[in-house]
């Protein structure tokens, strides 16, 4: 058992629904074990500037249902430099913070890995990103809420598509990963999806529209923002050029996908891994992400968690095609 007296907690990178539930779990679990908690505002930026405050039970009252992050979040270029990380470490020492819980995505863990190798301070991470693009957890905190938001929005778009016999190209988030597009494509009965991992890409989509069933009245195509053809507007332009008879419209869902009250799944996930992070620090873990695999807490070294290898199951891509016949 490692004697940890004061855990610093922060959120970093893009915000995700459920981050607040994770902060709450870290604070309450730490109190349970008699450990103090220091809140660090705006991620690595606040760490480098000493923007710290003491948290207690009440600091996390009434936040489990709120989207965003009460600790705020930021991207911070100084932390990429040795001087920036030195300033952060000095503030941690000054404030007697002797362990860290980082809540964020792959960039956050890349920073944590570098920091943990330079300075003798245990750091563990919680997967907080809507992208679900980390290895070492079945789902990331925020993903479930985000995909439900997308499904809700696409269902509404479908009403218009059906009423006007239109083809809608809907762009969803996912710079490097098509996991949001894939799952929501299945759940909304999309005609096709276009994702960075796709082998057939734009050509596959155009073929599908050319040779697919002709008697459909509405069509939904889900496009991940990071796919190769250049996003929904470019895809829409090419589709319109090739199929001038289709009444094609574009919809970019944008930031609504990040916001809103976290789903039950995200709250429970965040609560479980948040409490487990405190226990992991007590048990001497460091430089690991705490995730959930098959319902069990899982510990994955940062360098492995950020490898993006969760990958896309080709059967899921086939499923979209098979079911939209």
Task: Compute the distance between CA of residue 143 and CA of residue 8 in angstroms, rounded to an integer.
Answer: 25
Residue facing ligand ATP at closest CB distance: 107
Residue 212 assigned ligand-binding role = no
**75 among annotated binding-site residues:** yes
CA 127 to chain centre: 7
Beta strands 6-11 and 99-104 are: parallel
Which residue matches tokens 């907080």? 128
Q: Which helix (H) or strand (E) holds 257?
A: none
Catalytic residue among 15, 45, 98, 131: 131
Name which of 128 and 236 has its Cβ closer to ligand ATP: 128
Could you tell me the smallest distance in angstroms from the CB atom of residue 130 to ligand ATP? 7
Q: Which is nearer to ligand ATP, 184 or 324 (CB)?
A: 184
Smaller CB separation from ligand ATP, 104 or 231: 104
Q: Any idea what DSSP says for residue 76? A: -
- What is the arrangement of strands in the sheet containing 219-224, beginning at the earlier edge strand? 192-194, 219-224, 166-172, 247-252
User: Under a CB-based contact definition with an 8 Å cutoff, are residues 302 and 125 in contact?
Assistant: yes
Q: How far is the CB of 92 from ligand ATP (least distance, A)?
A: 15
Alpha-carbon gap, residue 11 to 141, rounded angstroms? 12
Binding-site ranges for ligand ATP (CB under 6 A): 12-14, 44, 75-76, 79-80, 104-108, 110-111, 114, 129, 131
* In contact, 195 and 275? CB cutoff 8 Å: no
Tell how strand 219-224 and strand 247-252 pair up: unpaired
Q: Binding residue per annotation — 129? A: yes
- Minimum CB distance to ligand ATP smaller for 177 or for 263: 177
Catalytic residue check, 131: yes
- Smallest gap, in angstroms, from Cβ of residue 205 to ligand ATP? 26
Instruction: For residue 189, say whether it is annotated as part of any ligand binding site.
Output: yes
Nearer to ligand ATP, 5 or 308 (CB): 308
Helices (H) and strands (E) in the chain, counts: 11, 11
Q: CB–CB of 252/276 below 8 Å?
A: no
Question: For ligand ATP, which is the closer residue by CB, 21 or 320?
Answer: 21
Known binder of ligand: residue 137? Answer: no
Alpha helix stretches (DSSP H) within 57-105: 82-94
Query: C-beta of 258: minimal distance to ligand ATP in Å?
Result: 9
**For the chain, how far is it from start to end, CA to CA, in angstroms?**
58
From the CB of 74, what's the least distance to ligand ATP, in Å? 7
- Residue 248 per-residue DSSP state: E
| Calpha distance 321→315 (Å, rounded) | 10
Alpha helices (H) along the chain: 19-32, 43-49, 82-94, 106-118, 143-164, 179-187, 201-211, 231-242, 264-282, 302-305, 314-323
Is 175 assigned a ligand-binding role in the annotation? yes
CB of 14 to ligand ATP, least distance (A): 3
271 vs 29: CA distance, rounded Å? 9
Q: Is 264 annotated as a binding residue?
A: no
Instruction: Check whether 174 is labelled as a binding-site residue.
Output: yes
> Which residue ranges make up the annotated binding site?
14, 24-28, 75-76, 105-108, 129-131, 158, 166, 173-175, 189-191, 216-218, 225, 249, 255-258
List residues forming the annotated binding site for ATP.
Answer: 14, 75-76, 105-108
**Catalytic annotation, residues:** 131
Known binding-site residue numbers for Mg(2+): 106
List, as residue ranges, the binding site for substrate.
129-131, 166, 173-175, 225, 249, 255-258
């Amino acid at each position: 058992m490692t004697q940890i007296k004061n855990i610093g907690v922060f959120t970093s990178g893009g915000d995700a629904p459920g981050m607040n539930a994770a902060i709450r779990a870290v604070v309450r679990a730490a109190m349970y074990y008699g450990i103090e908690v220091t809140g660090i505002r705006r991620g690595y930026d606040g760490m480098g500037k000493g923007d710290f405050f003491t948290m207690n039970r009440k600091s996390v009252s009434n936040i489990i249902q709120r989207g965003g992050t009460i600790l705020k979040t930021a991207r911070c270029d100084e932390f990429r430099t040795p001087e920036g990380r030195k300033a952060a470490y000095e503030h941690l020492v000054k404030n007697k913070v002797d362990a860290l819980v980082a809540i964020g995505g792959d960039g956050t863990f890349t920073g944590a890995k570098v920091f943990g190798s330079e300075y003798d301070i245990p750091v563990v991470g919680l997967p907080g990103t809507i992208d679900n693009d980390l290895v070492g957890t079945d789902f990331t905190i925020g993903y479930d809420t985000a995909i439900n938001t997308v499904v809700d929005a696409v269902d509404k778009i479908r009403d218009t598509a059906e009423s006007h016999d239109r083809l809608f190209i809907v762009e969803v988030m996912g710079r490097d990963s098509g996991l949001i597009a894939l799952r929501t494509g299945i759940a909304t009965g999309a005609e096709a999806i276009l994702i960075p991992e796709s082998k057939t890409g734009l050509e596959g989509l155009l073929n599908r529209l050319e040779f697919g069933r002709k008697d459909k009245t509405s069509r939904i195509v889900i496009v991940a923002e990071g796919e190769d053809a250049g996003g929904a507007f470019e895809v829409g332009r090419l589709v319109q050029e090739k199929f001038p008879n289709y009444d094609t419209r574009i919809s970019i869902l944008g930031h609504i996908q990040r916001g809103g009250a976290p789903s039950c799944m995200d709250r429970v996930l965040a609560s479980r891994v948040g409490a487990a992070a405190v226990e992991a620090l007590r048990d001497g873990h460091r430089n690991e992400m705490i995730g959930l695999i098959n319902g069990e807490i899982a510990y994955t070294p940062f360098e492995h968690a950020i490898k993006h290898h969760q990958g896309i199951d080709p059967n899921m891509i086939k499923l979209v095609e098979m079911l939209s016949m």
